[in-house]
Amino acid sequence: MEYLIKNGYVYDPLNNVKGEKMDIAIKNGKIVSPSELSGDAKTIDASGMVVMPGGVDIHSHIAGPKVSAGRIMRPEDHYKVYMRAIPGVRRSGSGKTTPSTYVIGYKYARMGWTTVFEPATPPLETRHTHEELDDIPILDKGCFPLLDSNWFVLEYLQNKDYDRCAAFIGWLMDAIKGYAIKIVDPGVAEAWSLGMGVGLSLDDQIPNYNLTPREIVRGLCKANQMLKLPHPIHVHCNRLGFPGNYVSTLDTMDAVSDLALNQDTPIIHITHVQFTGYAGDSWATLASGGEEIAKYVNNHKHVSLDLGQIVFGDVTTMTADAPFEFVLHHLAPGKWSSTDVEAETSSGIVPYRYKKKNFVNTVQWCIGLEVALLVKDPWRIFPTTDHPNAGPFTSYPTVLAWLMSRKAREKVFEQVNRRGLRKSALQAIDREYDLYEITIITRAAGAKILGLKDKGHLGVGADADVAIYNLNPEKIDFSKDWETFVKAFKRAAYTFKNGEMVVKDGEILRHMYGETYYVKPRVPESLLKTVVEDVKTRFREWYSINFENYVIGDDELRAVKPIQVETTLKG
């Protein structure tokens, strides 16, 4: 199909377009010059509307064994929210905090998001992750393999064999179709499997290895640079969820600062910083460490952050940080699941509810917003809820409204714990994001930090992923009328995916599938052969499955898009 989107207010930060009235042309799934359209092009009148690239979410737990387990643990979730099937248009589904696969795709698209990455998959279980990603409609997607406690990685790093470590990771990304290096509480899964690891600090020694979490972070950062992977190392810091952990976050960011010399782009991404931004020495003295974190980020260009912003209500916490879930289970007794994945990682799941009048929950709510409003560079801030840990992804319009409107924040100030509010600087912050900055943090910055050159913009040659919202920026003061913004962003006027209209007036029009991205680093043949032989030998000793069943072929996935990566590795 060919479309001409006429007279919309276009926001396209990667091309320095800030609300200009422009026409956007779509042909063969790409953005083209209007002059290339034929007379058969359909016209969409976007007068008085905002036109943006499709949203890009770099961190949302949408697929894999932990998500499936979360669905089982929350049966009530499926009665609260559901979507009926419409023959020939959409399939049925259910779930709020842990939606089923169809609902995930439909609800992201309904908000105008078109690309989403699953940020934590155990390599051994990534076949399951891809099966679920394959089942999610409309979205393009990818996944980040967990490598922080992988026995191959730990041995290579302990021996300071960075070339083989990088070569192993390069092979693994191709073998299981992964996109970026994920680090969760580095080394803790190994300690946890031995009954230790709760609250492991950055310089504590990991049992059975002459290695510390700091050395894992640095080693994997070096490997990432050697492989030239498009996304920085994606790091869940040590001591997540413990009072005083903002110090560990600062130490983790600074641990790789010397590796970023002569670079002005991030080499480390700190994820769901709200959960690792706690000051104080106990839950009774909990306070925000957001100001110190923001100050560090403002002074160092090698770091980016996503928020993990708290949204009050029911959630399903799930993470590879099994010791944290063990602690949370004892803080909020109820259901709890804990899993170890042989030779690779661990995980835990605990359903939870964030309460507005709860002191700790109020401090948590403040931290994410405080960091986002104090960090000056919107290209290094990403407004996630760490779905479903801090809130469902469907809450993004509300989170964005809190960033755009002090009045929206003040409404929540009236409802939350007063003592908790005083533990943060949030009440004193007047900054309000504008629509251009919102486009950066939800579209352009995500595509840029993932290295997706055809995403996040509306220039000629870009993928025709487009969102149109019924908002007139010349008539609406978003600071005052933030509720109109929320309403519009919950249900886009139009969403286009690969040039196909998939949403109109907030309703799904058709069921289609996107592609799965993965990286394919070029590892020298001799080095690759040595590493694969090493893996095959160890595999028989460490794993309960055959090596051949570990590798995932392109033909096993619905539609793949490999990203070829040139490395600095030598044979």
The answer on 290 and 266 residing in a single domain is: yes
Angle between helix 396-404 and 359-374 (nearest 10) = 60
If you write DSSP's letter for every residue of 107-170 in order, what string do you get? HHHHHTEEEEEEEEE-GGGHHHHHHHHHHS-S-EEEEEEB-TT-HHHHHHHHTT-HHHHHHHHH
The answer on 254 and 273 residing in a single domain is: yes
Count the residues in the chain. 571
CATH number of the CATH domain containing 465: 2.30.40.10
In this structure, what is the dihedral angle of CA atoms 372, 373, 375, 380, given to the nearest 10 degrees?
A: 40
- The residue among 450, 483, 498 that closes a domain is 450
Burial class from Cβ neighbours inside 10 Å (0-12, 13-18, 19+) for residue 224 reads buried
User: Could you tell me if residue 25 is inside a domain?
Assistant: yes
The answer on 62 and 22 residing in a single domain is: no
The answer on 199 and 148 residing in a single domain is: yes
User: Could you tell me if residue 82 is inside a domain?
Assistant: no
Report whether 120 contacts 453 (CB < 8 A).
Answer: no
The answer on 268 and 144 residing in a single domain is: yes
pLDDT for res 290: 98
pLDDT for res 263: 84
User: Does the CA dihedral 168-171-174-176 come out positive or negative?
Assistant: negative
CA distance 242 to 420: 16
| Residues in the chain, pLDDT under 50 | none
The answer on 315 and 184 residing in a single domain is: yes
pLDDT for res 421: 98
CA distance 157 to 536: 19
User: Could you tell me if residue 566 is inside a domain?
Assistant: no
| Ranges assigned E (strand) in 192-253 | 233-236
The answer on 193 and 317 residing in a single domain is: yes
CA distance 450 to 234: 11
User: Could you tell me if residue 353 is inside a domain?
Assistant: yes
CATH number of the CATH domain containing 317: 3.20.20
Find residue 4's DSSP bridge partners: 25, 43
The answer on 247 and 181 residing in a single domain is: yes
Domain count, the chain: 2
The answer on 202 and 234 residing in a single domain is: yes
User: Could you tell me if residue 544 is inside a domain?
Assistant: no
pLDDT for res 198: 84
477: left (phi over 0), alpha (psi -120 to 50) or beta: beta
pLDDT for res 501: 98
User: Could you tell me if residue 554 is inside a domain?
Assistant: no
- The residue among 450, 468, 491 that closes a domain is 450
CA distance 201 to 198: 9
The answer on 153 and 13 residing in a single domain is: no
pLDDT for res 182: 98
Provide the residue range defining the domain that includes 44.
Answer: 2-53+454-508
- The residue among 410, 428, 450 that closes a domain is 450
User: Could you tell me if residue 249 is inside a domain?
Assistant: yes
pLDDT for res 397: 98
pLDDT for res 78: 87
pLDDT for res 19: 97
The answer on 292 and 227 residing in a single domain is: yes
The answer on 351 and 233 residing in a single domain is: yes
